[in-house]
Structure 1
Amino acid sequence: MFVHGFLDDQYVWDRLIGELTTPGIECVTLDLAGSGDRTQASGPFTYDRFADEVGAVADALGKPFVIVGQSLGSAVAELVAAQRPDRALGLVLVTPVPLAGTRQPDEVMDAFRSLGGDGDAQRAVRTQLSAALAEADLDRLVVSGTRMRPETVREAADCWNNGHPAGEQPSRYAGPVRTVEGRDQVKNVMAAASTIYESLVFTQATVSGERSYLEWRATAFGGTQIDGVTILTKNADGQIVRAAIHHRPLGVVHRFSAELGRRLNGVLDAEYFHRG
């Protein structure tokens, strides 16, 4: 099951689905309320409403499923998967929005709230956020996005910015997601990872409440470029209690994970790492 993001529609997945070669996979896409072929749907446009509708499709299928969500759709996918632990075999989050929301100030969010019906502004935002997007894909997405009613766009933007109450706690999704826990194991992973990078430079930094966001650019594997974001969460005493390190592009993520698994063989279970 594929859940699209902010300003998108179900057809954003067509090219990806066309490249899936594993036999026996059944793919399901749908438009969230207010998007795509459902632009005339009335509000409210909330995570609960989106998750109820996507969940109803999952229930109608009556089968085990893997759910893939992108951007705003990532939070929807997480809610759907968490509510169906017996059938959600996997949860894939692509450029995810935190379930707790991004909590950006009004001066930032006003630029997103005002995108409804403004093709030029949507094109500019998409060009900035998706630099490698082909011109034909960009044209189609702008057409799809400008079909959304301005009031729908405003509500959808507030939805992903404000988040969902479930995001205030650790995720209730109990599927095959593994985190490295414990001081010694985290030190082992960080030490091994640091030997893979050939260079690493921090480019941007900001702090929001208990979280620090660090953007960086690195090289590995003979000069291959890696872009990333590190999110550090601190407790009331200022101690780091959680670190999430995100890499892109995806091909490098797979290679980095596989190499990390090789270097940590016998230290951490192989299930933590990519083995494709």
Structure 2
Amino acid sequence: MTEPSVGITVVEAASAIARRTGQGPTALVVLPGFLDDATVWTVFADLIARAGVDVVQLEPAGVGGRVNASGPFTLRRMAEDAGAVVDSLGKPCVVLGQSMGAQVAELVAAPRGDAVRGLILLTPVPLAGTRLPDPDIAPFRALGGNLEAQRAVRSQLTVAPSAQTVDLQVAAGARIPPAVVSALADAWNDGDSAGEAPSRFQGPVLIVRGAGDGFVTDDLLQRVTPRFNEPARAVIDRAGHWPHTEQPEALAETVLPFVIRSAARATSRL
């Protein structure tokens, strides 16, 4: 399948917005990770919006309210959709991506240094991909439609998982068609060739991981952090791979100062 053209219209871009909360001179654009949709970000987004930030929660094609969208389900396609939304906002923004969403977030931010004033990578998968061998990526490809397996993965990578938290995320994953799940697993595993070089994004970067994340470990972050110029780093205690659902208040307290500083820089440059 061929990649779609970059000239996506604002009307098409608007379909990627699942929820928009709050008002303010700066937007926080949120990109979900593998098997997630906008529903799992609601508590975190509401906390950020209370501080006067325009929070824009996106959903990639094949996920959430866009389960009927056609492919390709690639990092570049997701970045084109999200980038069109950023372009349509008409205000400076900070882009936050979690896990696979962090790969997409960097692709969105890199060519938009004027509009994107900050980049937050939450439990990030390296842009170059994890490059797991076929026997190791195959179980992730097969998660579509297998709610028992999804629940097991969520529980394994969550610190002290509550039934409510896991149920919320499993419900999000259950809505994604199996063929899309398989394609998305290949997308984050294969990565993008841009990840082989230093990042093109030259603005401030905040890299956040959960203290108990068994997937995005300090070793894996060594394939992320050196690509950026002096990125800030933070760790969320009592959180695994999904701090936005496990510890939304702590995550909001961690990222909000970064967003506010970015807003102040944006105001001074306009």
TM-score range, shorter chain: 0.5 to 0.7
Q: From the superposition, tell whether residues 245 and 19 of structure 1 become closer, same or farther in structure 2 (CA, over 3 Å).
A: closer
Q: State the identity %.
A: 46
TM-score relative to the length of structure 1 = 0.66
Please state how far the C-alpha of 1:232 moved relative to its aligned partner: 8.9
Query: Size of the alignment, in residue pairs?
Result: 204
Measured on the aligned residues, the alpha-carbon RMSD in Å equals: 3.3
Aligned with 1:59 (options 87, 100, 120): 87
Equivalent of 1:104, from 102, 118, 132?
132
Pick aligned residue for 1:8 from 25, 36, 40: 36
CA distance, structure 1, for counterparts of residue 227 and residue 109 of structure 2: 26
Give the equivalent residue in structure 2 for 1:121: 149
**1:247 CA drift (Å):** 6.4
Q: Which residue type is aligned with residue 51 of structure 1?
A: A
AA partner of residue 28 (structure 1): V
Distance 1:75 1:138, change over 3 A: same
Q: What are the Cα deviations for residues 38-60 of structure 1, in whole angstroms up to 9, with x where unaligned?
A: 11111110011000000111111
**Which of the residues 200, 206, 218 maps onto 1:229?**
218
Aligned amino acid, residue 218 of structure 2: V
Sort the Cα spacing of 1:109 and 1:245 in 2 relative to 1 into closer, same or farther, 3 A.
Answer: farther
Bigger Cα Rg: 1
Per the alignment, residue 249 of structure 1 pairs with 236
* Equivalent residue runs for 1:80-91 within 5 Å: 80-91=108-119
Unaligned runs of 5+ in 2: 1-28, 240-249, 251-260, 262-270
Q: What does residue 140 of structure 1 align with?
A: 168
Q: Which moved more, 1:125-134 or 1:81-90?
A: 125-134
SS in structure 2 of the partner of residue 79 of structure 1: helix
1:150 matches 2:137: no
Give the C-alpha shift of residue 131 in structure 1: 2.5
- 1:85-119 deviations in whole A, cap 9, x for unaligned? 01111100100010000000111101100000000
TM-score after normalising by structure 2: 0.67
Change (3 A) 1:10 1:232: closer
Amino acid across the alignment from 1:229: D
How far apart are the structure 1 equivalents of 2:91 and 2:98?
A: 22
State the SS of the aligned residue for 1:248: strand
State the distance in 2 between where 1:26 and 1:42 align.
29
Q: In structure 2, do the counterparts of structure 1 residues 146 and 251 end up closer, same or farther at CA, with 3 Å as the change threshold?
A: closer
Q: Give the number of the structure with larger relative contact order, counting CA–CA contacts within 8 Å between residues 6 or more apart.
A: 2
> Paired residue for 2:123?
95
- Could you tell me which runs of 5 or more consecutive residues in structure 1 were left unpaired when the two chains were aligned: 180-215, 218-226, 235-239, 255-270, 272-276
Asked if the contact 1:228–1:246 (Cα under 8 Å) also holds between the matched residues in 2, the reply is no
- 1:6–1:71 Cα contact (<8 Å) kept: yes
CA deviations on 1:164-194 (whole Å, 9 max, x unpaired) are 0111111111102499xxxxxxxxxxxxxxx
Partner of 1:19, secondary structure, is helix
Matching residue of 1:210: none
Out of 15, 24, 28, the position equivalent to 2:52 is: 24
Deviates more, 1:144-153 or 1:116-125: 144-153
Change in 2 beyond 3 A, CA 1:20/1:35:
same
The 1:9–1:178 alpha-carbon spacing in structure 2 relative to 1, beyond 3 Å, is closer
8 Å Cα contact 1:229/1:247 also seen in 2: no
CA apart distance, 1:241: 11
CA distance in 2, matches of 1:141, 1:151: 19
Give 1:175's match in structure 2, choosing from 199, 203, 224: 203
Kept in 1: contact 2:144–2:177 (CA 8 A): yes
In structure 2, the CA distance between the partners of 1:45 and 1:65, relative to structure 1 (3 Å rule), is same
Change (3 A) 1:139 1:231: closer
